[in-house]
Structure 1
């Protein structure tokens, strides 16, 4: 039987349609496709698939864009810039009526890059009517027609606010390497909720299957905002902080990019933002919770927008001797039980004690990990006895005996509510089965 031949034009049409579909799946959307889907008012949809976007014809990446009302309402694009490949960059920004303008971009590479080729950076767009812009692209061409082939970012923070959705938000820079420390994470989250935190932002490259269940529970609960962070699809991110020692393209999976992005993300959402790691709790010691702590600190230091909190190590190798919190229910849960680790390493006078931050985000321009790089207003070092970080991890002074460590049972002050809330969350996440 003779086979039927498809007309050539049908094959051409099918090929074109497949090409368009694949292009949209893997390289983003063009200008005309972008308006109905990416600017539909859904905050989650805007960022879920477009948290990292290559700047075409360059080695650079853009992350997110914000109006900065503090500097003439310029557009600030949080970016990742290859330091040895600088080239002229241009902003093409458009309003909702598709009226577009161009401006020469100012690239500000953050001073803390720890020697890595790529660095957290700001690309500033200061042109006419930036305050009316709805979306922006960074381009290597100043030709406005280039906008039709560029990927676009929605512009956030178009309106300032003096009242905020949240009093306290926590920014956790990144998850990677199939991190699965479930028990410590749930204890930390529940501890922060008891301390007055209403919102947590976490940048997720990869995590273990058990932690993924927990993340989805907290996302459904409404306290957790998960930002996909596929940095390893674009660069070879380092697992360490020092380029000479650890190698790679970018410091610690882009930790500095995440922290700066999170500040601007919460600029008009949260009164205060905590910048700390996933295994750290900024703990008040003279106040019942964070609102009371910050009320007193801010009243005493009205011009301060950055509060630095000392880090203190609680070695996970030293256990509380009675075993009162060695609960059989938690033994099958992967991770560290912080309630068993109450011994704190002493300060070393000749070693710098790194700090983490509680900030007014509207006071900060750029931040590093342990201090801000640029800010408005003053910085205050919070005394150890007022607040310090409970950081349960591998010891830094592993030669010390238990007798040489300080006893710090502050977490135990919350034991009844904390244990109950941890159990409920683990059950709701299908990670803990309670039998009668």
Structure 2
């Protein structure tokens, strides 16, 4: 009998010991193999940044995360498009986690784009390289690797999880910045309708602010489906410059973070769009030898199969010089705020020994980093498209204001589309309540 009690006691002690070990092991996920943690149970989920957010501060730093993508061209590393303060560099860490909430921490590799125009903050790629990055669902950039256990910090969702060979859009236009009280309704409507005629299916605008009338037009195009508005509240985090020259336009970052948004737009549409057009809101990339952009790119790509970056010359049509017959000075548009591009057919000549900036049509899958007028890193070469094949119609204040009308060139290309363009602009303005 006594022997049985002893055996029973030993059994109880053993069971208690096993339960204690199990309990201890269940709390050991913060001290497993170095730099690998197990997330808390599902009732304590990750704080994932809302899809409508576009700028997320990095804790205990002067830096910001913007968006995260798998880069399949670079062995599946995670590329976090970021805004980094160049004067306050510090070691950064990546915490990337699978959908099953298993996380890994690695040292981050920081590449600040060299085209920052001297401003303190610059567009930056933060790379997260490690095992199974392709399987990651979300990522965090942190200044302290110990923060990996704190899941109250905000993680970015990781996009471009899979390579696509068919695309939702053939052509996407990326408009890098909209800010201030910009209210150029008529020119914006004409530009969007012109792009529709040329074969564009998607336009993206990074919006900080705009005028009330343009806001109404943006909502119309967003409802219609051609326009995607990405909120860009850069002024809530930094003092953005309204220009590119730091001596003339003071601030923390060049032109409301234009370089960040251009790069973000390329990666956002890496597998959504066959081609991406990078140009400003008052510019139209216009084919001169082809009926539309599809025909243009078919010929260019056929002649240059390895090229992924096509540079298009910028040409200014001064909004101060008006077509004399007043053929398109329409009474219906007289009260619409903005510029009527159909009235401005006079083009400035190119200046000798003066750099003529370009904008671009790119295959986003061949671009790694871009600036405003050319790419910084890409797979393959760039090709400058001849002036007579394609050029930019840029209606704006004159660059050579001293020139008389007789010294300008007549360029009526937009008139080739007058009937369809006017009809479509009128319809849009009526739907918005402007007519």
TM-score by length of 1: 0.89
**8 Å contact kept, 1:314–1:344:** yes
Q: CA deviation at 1:145?
A: 3.5
The equivalent of 2:55 in structure 1 is 52
- Give the corresponding residue for 2:12: none
1:247 Cα shift?
1.1
Aligned to 2:220: 217
- The secondary structure found in structure 1 opposite 2:247 is helix
**Are 1:80 and 2:80 matched, yes or no?**
no
How far off its partner does 1:278 sit?
0.3
Q: Is 1:427 matched with 2:430?
A: yes
8 Å CA contact 2:175, 2:203 repeated in 1: yes
- In structure 1, which of residues 159, 162, 168 is the aligned counterpart of residue 162 of structure 2? 159
Instruction: Answer yes or no: is 1:370 the counterpart of 2:373.
Output: yes
- CA drift at 1:427: 1.0
**Alpha-carbon displacement from aligned partner over 1:189-212 (angstroms, at most 9, x marks no partner):** 000000000001100000001000
Give the drift of 1:428.
1.0
Deviation of 1:244 (Å)? 1.8
1:251 to 246, 254, 263: 254
Give the C-alpha shift of residue 149 in structure 1. Answer: 3.0
Distance in 2 (alpha carbons) for counterparts of 1:31 and 1:86: 34
Task: Please report the RMSD computed on the Cα atoms of aligned residues, expressed in angstroms.
Answer: 1.6
Structure 2 counterpart of 1:279: 282
What's 1:137 paired with? 140
Tell me the equivalent position of 1:305: 308
Corresponding residue to 2:207 among 204, 221, 244: 204
State the Cα deviation string for residues 371-403 of structure 1 (Å, max 9, x = none): 000000111000000000000000011111111
What does 1:332-411 align with in structure 2 at a 5 Å threshold?
332-411=335-414
Q: What SS does the corresponding residue of 2:394 show, helix, strand or coil?
A: strand
2:21: which partner in 1?
none
Residue in 1 aligned with 2:3? Answer: none
How far is 1:230 from its partner? 0.4
1:311 to partner: Cα distance: 0.1
Question: Could you tell me which of 96, 100, 103 is aligned with 1:100?
Answer: 103
TM superposition shift of 1:72: 1.0
2-side partners of 1:169 and 1:59: how far apart?
32
Task: Work out the CA distance in 2 between the residues paired with 1:384 and 1:351.
Answer: 16
Which structure has the greater CA radius of gyration?
Answer: 2
1:67–1:156 CA contact under 8 A, matched in 2: yes
Who is 2:36 aligned against?
none
Contact kept, 8 Å, 1:47 with 1:227, in 2: the verdict is no
Instruction: Kindly report which structure 2 residues correspond to 1:165-204, keeping only aligned pairs within 5 A, or say none.
Output: 165-204=168-207
Question: Residue deviations 1:340-378, cap 9 Å, x none?
Answer: 000000000111000000000000000000000000011
Tell me if structure 2 keeps the 8 A contact 1:137–1:147: no
Equivalent of 1:239, from 242, 256, 264?
242
Query: Take 1:387 and 1:149, find their aligned partners in 2: how far apart are those partners?
Result: 51
Contact 1:32 1:148 in 2 (8 A): no
How far apart are 1:141 and its partner, in Å?
1.4
TM-superposition CA deviations, 1:105-141 (whole Å, max 9, x none): 0000001000000000000001111100111110011
Q: Distance between the aligned counterparts of 2:147 and 2:235, measured in 1?
A: 32
Name the CA shift for 1:140/1:317 in 2 (closer, same or farther; >3 Å).
same
Quick one: structure 1 residues 32 and 419, their matched pair in 2 at CA, closer, same or farther if it must change by over 3 Å?
farther
Query: Out of 325, 329, 333, which is 1:326 matched to?
Result: 329
Worse-matched range after superposition: 112-121 or 136-145: 136-145
In the alignment, structure 2 segments of 5+ residues that lack a partner are 1-39
Aligned partners of 2:76 and 2:134 also within 8 Å: yes
Q: With the length of structure 2 as denominator, give the TM-score of the two structures.
A: 0.89
Residues 33 and 277 of structure 1: CA distance in aligned 2, closer, same or farther (over 3 Å): farther
Count of residue pairs brought into register by the alignment: 396
Structure 1 Cα separation of the partners of residues 350 and 170 of structure 2: 31
